[in-house]
Structure 1
Amino acid sequence: MNFQEFLQGKVFYAYKYFGAHLLKKGAIFRVYAPNAAKVELQGDFSGWELLEMKQKENPGVFEVTVQDAEAGMYYKYAITDAQGNVVYHCDPYGMLMELRPGFASRIVDENWKFADDEWTNNQNTEKNYNNPMNIYELHAGSWKQKEDGSWYNYEELAEELIPYLKKMGFNYIEFLPLSEHPADCSWGYQNTGFFAPTSRYGTPQQLKKLVELCHENGIGVFTDFVPVHFAMDDYGLLNFDGTPLYEFPHPDTAYSEWGTMNFMHSRGEVRSFLQSAANYWLTEFHFDGIRMDAISRAIYWNGDPARGVNERAVEFLRNMNAGLHKLHPSAILMAEDSTDFPKVTAPTEYDGLGFDYKWDMGFMNDTLRFFQTAPVYRPYDYHKLSFSMMYFYSDLFLLPFSHDEVVHGKATIIQKMWGNYENKFPQAKAFYTYVYAHPGKKLNFMGNEFAQFREWDETREQDWDILKYPLHDAFHHFYAKLAHLYLEERALYDGEYNQDCFEWLEVDAADYVTYAWERRAGGETIVTVMNLSDQFWKDFPVGLPMYYELEELLNTDWKKFGGNTSPEDQNFRIVDEEHRKWPQTLYADLPPFTARMFKVKGVKIPAQKKDVPAGRR
């Protein structure tokens, strides 16, 4: 490692130099603590006696070689500050830690040979822009648990999870942070081990096996990464060498709203630490991408636009993303960002932040608020659902319905739907049809796919027994059908970020609370019609831009999904008569809270019609 580049914030492989690394005999330990008066090492290999570490080739870097050190052994650093105070720390670059409440780091055998070449060789640099990306977000400890309430390890989880993902039509998973953290209730967002997969679920090798098994089954894997703040436990990064080495020195900027410490991104050592951690997960675990948490708190001082842009943190994001793209051209970088800061997904060479996708928090909030509104008021909020397409092409958006929307008294997705128990299900089916027929990649948190009513609790597994109830079971089957349609129908994913591939067919029917639009790509077209009122509309007219022949792909009111309509009762007809500016009209029965999806199976030229509109892509 070039030490000067480390100090300048240019290093992406600092973990190969710092931390504990096995040698042919024993191991070498290195830690960066430039303001410490003394640094000592203790562990299994010394009977927990303290071993003095020395500054050798680089100032501020303390190191020692221990002949008796072996893989699996525990160790800590004892750091003495300038005042003589001693604090025991885990290794900032440690690759494994003991289970909380312990905090010792462990030596890891880094030898591992992945067997996922077929997957990695087929990844491209186009970031899935024109491919389907249906992401299942989950918390590894509370998706499913063993009968005794204990966790599955990473490999056991893969055995349970992969068949379920394939059945339900998810082709990506996104784990809440897997880096080590002391408090279960932080869900992994308050880290002490940025390079250590949490030992709650096993070893780094077992996590690598999980990723490998997912790839063998055609499933991509993302993980959350937290580049903005860290846990304030005294054995972690806080005042690491007796001074604020990783955090800001001033209280007004040091503390976050979550009771954590904010990284000081203007320090080169911090930049090298964080971008090396991001690179570590992509390189050593073959993750297909990372979702970066709380980006708004990096863009603005403490996330407050009124305090201004944190220019050095923005610079850090640009440089880190540019470096990660260079090292991993096919890796997908996603920003959880609720601001309107410009060019979040623009390339860094065009002054963008360099993310590939941005979570569309506005879409999420507007859509959920609309469905919470009583039908009598929906005509007044009609354009909450159409507003997203006014700005959609300003960034590359992903449509998230994440863990944050089903906790802390917010209610789950199904519970947010207006009305009583029975009314919530048809609305939830229409809700998800709208999401999947809307441009943008998809992300849904575990439990939403079978309409769980209980808010997520990280200590409990999901309420799988709820599937014994007919409406939940029917909803579960509906969701699988919808998700598979998204994966299979090119018009629902190709050209998502091309304005020519989307068109409203009805977006001026506020009194009826009814919408219609079409998606088209690669010679395929899908028309979606949606009624979000509590009224039955018989033969609702929708203009069609060409003389289509349609087949119905999906009706949220079908009996097999808990509705009242049989698939053989098509209840729609196409008439060669003009409607508004369109030459043809689709008349469709629309029960309350229903969405219907049609695929164009052909375009006809009617008799005595010479002015048929030209075809589209």
Structure 2
Amino acid sequence: MTMTSVVDSEDLYLWHEGTQYQCYHFLGSHLEERSGQRGVHFAVWAPNAKQVNVTGSFNGWDGSGHPMSRQEGVWTLFIPELTEGTLYKYEVITEQGDCYLKSDPMAFHSELRPGTASIVTSLEGYEWEDEDWQANKSNQLQQQPLLIYEVHLGSWKRKEDGGFYTYVELADELIDYVRYRGYTHIEIMPLGEHPLDASWGYQVTGYFSVTSRFGSPKDFMYFVDRCHQQGIGVIMDWVPAHFCKDEHGLARFDGTPLYEYADIQKSENLTWGTSVFDFGKPEVLSFLITNALFWMDVYHVDGLRVDAVSSLLTLNFDERKEVRITNEYGGDENLEGIAFLQKLNAVVFARYPNALMIAEDSSSFPGVTSPVANGGLGFNYKWDLGYTWRTLEYEKKSEEERSAGEDQITQSLLNIWDEQFILPFSHDEMANESKSLLGKMSGKDAWQRFANLRVLYMFTMGHPGKKLTFMGNEFGQMDDWNWDDSLEWQLLDYEEHQQFAHFVTQMNHFYKSKPALWKQDYKPLGFEWIGTDDQSDGIVTFYRKTGDEENEQLVIVCNFKSVAQEGYRLGISMPGRYREIFNSDNSEFGGSGVGNASELNTEEWFCQNRPNSMVVNMPPLAAVIFEYIPSKG
């Protein structure tokens, strides 16, 4: 026996208007009681279907006995006696008489691949214990330290038999590791259900279904809860730009282009082999913005790194397109994609003012982190991919080549106020045979390569902007990242990797302890060039300051050459006493041990356009940080 079921008319009105931001409450499958009977209510949007039936393990995968009723393009049905764990799909019959078996776009859980069925699942009943974390979250994010550890859960660590660690097991191992190493946040590569491991999660079929590779929805709740209890924030990569074409997914869901554009020039990303969401369709906006909020509402995720933003900003992002298209004004801008991003951020911040909304954007589009009210996209952070590309290209060069290209390492310091940047060394820099970060470093031997990576990390730490590092880089992964295997944990059996991991750990904790390194990341008063008289000597120097009553001032000196410089004269703005407080060349980090042991005093000696200066020892391929010592009394 089945029962007719209806959806609230106000919910449907908002859904069709593009302003229904909690549609997962009425679409999908929900355990309910109707007329005294327990069962499951099903609802799915398929406006162009001739008929939709529910099929599953309970009816031998024959949906003919469970037809759904249509209500304003949404098909509904209540089936008594079904319980949690029931496998199901929608049997979508098109106007042409074709029949498709589709997974539920709003399913909360899905079969482990290669299975593709949706699973009736309740998200109720988990008892959260992250009240302190939630109460102490601040919307003054720009004035807080942010050290992000980017993780692919399937390859951070594998079991001896090659199997995955579960969310619960990762909660015991990964969180403690991240906290010990000094990171503030974990960023997890996409967790929406996806059929192909090799896509890394970036080609999604189940936007509301946390992947079953690592456990159940409540297992993932436990993971996030434990992160928060240990003081670690959680960011998730989110993929609103495109979706995969697998037959059971969103593509041509009701026999027509429903979630994707109908215009073939706009509906496909040929490079990625995916379908592009129709950002001009109100129901798609409701679907996507609801999904963004869903991960925060249900799983307490602290923010989203929005993938492939640049593909949403232009109509001609796909390089394989043979015909260029324009908008209604004759321009290249994707007006619907831009409007979607603005709406997304406005809605998210209205509900979660302390959310992290991070744009992974390789374009030069202006105002990515400017408020929507000012015409910007409304993100609060943007990945500075230009910084990543330029610094790594510089680090690949021999020392002779570096002399003519020092602007590659310093150029980013000229436009640091353009956006609120995160400086990322992400999975993209370690995948597809591009070599690991350590593998990219130039050097005559292993010592120089490790030293080069240490000075790059220190320069990045001192550079304005928040920080992100992909897993494995913290201990000097040697090979490219392999998504189908564990990280090279065996490297920690070797002294040079132990020392490098110790360096990263100490650097991270040092960074968090010094407000001058993060409090004014996005204000000019937090940074001051010192510069050099010689633009080819490989030495880059600058101040980081709190710019407040604390008056914390740090002098950061980076030597990108392998020759130590004893007696290097450094121009100083504020005369007085200074002391060395961090040195990447310390012997405990695997360095040569060149440093400055005692307090240093400035002299009235004009240098680097400053009336005062002091003499320091600069280690080879290293960075040194000096701290100003306020006068007593």
What TM-score, normalized by structure 2, do the two folds share?
Answer: 0.93
Tell me, in whole angstroms, the C-alpha distance in 2 between the residues paired with 1:231 and 1:533: 47
**Structure 1 partner of 2:15:** 6
CA contact (8 A) 2:579 2:600 kept: no
User: Paired residue for 2:306, among 280, 288, 292?
Assistant: 292
CA contact (8 A) 1:572 1:589 kept: no
Tell me, in whole angstroms, the C-alpha distance in 2 between the residues paired with 1:454 and 1:572: 42
Quote how far apart the aligned CAs of 1:252 are: 2.5
User: Paired residue for 1:339, among 339, 363, 366?
Assistant: 363
3-state DSSP of counterpart to 1:26:
strand
Tell me, in whole angstroms, the C-alpha distance in 1 between the residues paired with 2:596 and 2:416: 37
Structure 2, unmatched stretches of 5+, are 1-9, 326-331
Q: Which residues of 2 match residues 348-387 of structure 1 at below 5 A?
A: 348-387=372-411
Q: Structure 1: which 4+ aligned runs deviate by more than 4 Å?
A: 304-307, 566-574
Quote how far apart the aligned CAs of 1:377 are: 1.4
**Structure 2 partner of 1:96:** 109
Quote how far apart the aligned CAs of 1:123 are: 1.2
Quote how far apart the aligned CAs of 1:447 are: 0.3
How many residues in Structure 1 have an aligned counterpart in Structure 2? 603
Per-residue Cα deviation, 1:525-574 (whole angstroms, up to 9, x for no partner)? 11111111232222111111011322212111111010111667459764
Per-residue Cα deviation, 1:403-452 (whole angstroms, up to 9, x for no partner)? 01101121111111112322100000000000001110100000000110
Tell me, in whole angstroms, the C-alpha distance in 1 between the residues paired with 2:157 and 2:511: 26
3-state DSSP of counterpart to 1:23:
strand
3-state DSSP of counterpart to 2:24:
helix
Tell me, in whole angstroms, the C-alpha distance in 2 between the residues paired with 1:162 and 1:149: 21
Tell me, in whole angstroms, the C-alpha distance in 2 between the residues paired with 1:509 and 1:76: 68
Paired residue type of 2:23: A
User: Paired residue for 1:454, among 467, 479, 489?
Assistant: 479
Paired residue type of 1:422: W
Paired residue type of 1:290: L
Please state if 1:600 is matched with 2:604. Answer: no
For the aligned residues, what is the CA RMSD? 1.7
3-state DSSP of counterpart to 2:511:
helix
Quote how far apart the aligned CAs of 1:8 are: 2.1
Please state if 1:535 is matched with 2:563. Answer: yes
CA contact (8 A) 1:17 1:30 kept: yes
CA contact (8 A) 1:541 1:585 kept: yes
Tell me, in whole angstroms, the C-alpha distance in 1 between the residues paired with 2:106 and 2:170: 26
Tell me, in whole angstroms, the C-alpha distance in 2 between the residues paired with 1:603 and 1:374: 43
Tell me, in whole angstroms, the C-alpha distance in 1 between the residues paired with 2:509 and 2:473: 16
Structure 1, unmatched stretches of 5+, are 606-617
Q: Which residues of 2 match residues 170-185 of structure 1 at below 5 A?
A: 170-185=183-198
Distance change (3 Å), C-alpha of 1:33 and 1:228: same
Paired residue type of 2:552: E
Please state if 1:314 is matched with 2:314. Answer: no
Please state if 1:259 is matched with 2:273. Answer: yes
Quote how far apart the aligned CAs of 1:45 are: 3.0
Range with greater deviation from structure 2 (131-140 or 40-49): 40-49
CA contact (8 A) 1:176 1:224 kept: yes
Percent identity between the aligned chains? 36
Distance change (3 Å), C-alpha of 1:568 and 1:548: closer
Tell me, in whole angstroms, the C-alpha distance in 2 between the residues paired with 1:542 and 1:60: 71
Quote how far apart the aligned CAs of 1:580 are: 3.4
Q: Which residues of 2 match residues 266-281 of structure 1 at below 5 A?
A: 266-281=280-295
Distance change (3 Å), C-alpha of 1:507 and 1:69: farther
User: Paired residue for 1:134, among 133, 143, 147?
Assistant: 147
Q: Which residues of 2 match residues 547-558 of structure 1 at below 5 A?
A: 547-558=575-586
Tell me, in whole angstroms, the C-alpha distance in 1 between the residues paired with 2:212 and 2:608: 62
Distance change (3 Å), C-alpha of 1:152 and 1:304: closer
Paired residue type of 1:30: A
**Structure 2 partner of 1:523:** 551
User: Paired residue for 1:125, among 139, 149, 156?
Assistant: 139
Please state if 1:433 is matched with 2:458. Answer: yes
Distance change (3 Å), C-alpha of 1:96 and 1:507: farther
Per-residue Cα deviation, 1:121-150 (whole angstroms, up to 9, x for no partner)? 111222x11000100000011101122211
Paired residue type of 1:483: N
Per-residue Cα deviation, 1:224-280 (whole angstroms, up to 9, x for no partner)? 100000011011001100000011223332221211111111111111111111110
What TM-score, normalized by structure 1, do the two folds share?
Answer: 0.95
**Structure 2 partner of 1:489:** 514
Quote how far apart the aligned CAs of 1:576 are: 4.1
Tell me, in whole angstroms, the C-alpha distance in 2 between the residues paired with 1:329 and 1:526: 32
**Structure 2 partner of 1:145:** 158
Quote how far apart the aligned CAs of 1:589 are: 1.8
**Structure 1 partner of 2:592:** 564
3-state DSSP of counterpart to 1:62:
strand
CA contact (8 A) 2:595 2:617 kept: no
Please state if 1:69 is matched with 2:82. Answer: yes
**Structure 2 partner of 1:498:** 523
3-state DSSP of counterpart to 1:393:
coil
CA contact (8 A) 2:54 2:68 kept: no
**Structure 1 partner of 2:296:** 282
Paired residue type of 2:454: K
Tell me, in whole angstroms, the C-alpha distance in 2 between the residues paired with 1:586 and 1:151: 55
Tell me, in whole angstroms, the C-alpha distance in 2 between the residues paired with 1:604 and 1:429: 34
**Structure 2 partner of 1:614:** none
Please state if 1:245 is matched with 2:258. Answer: yes
3-state DSSP of counterpart to 1:449:
coil
**Structure 1 partner of 2:234:** 221
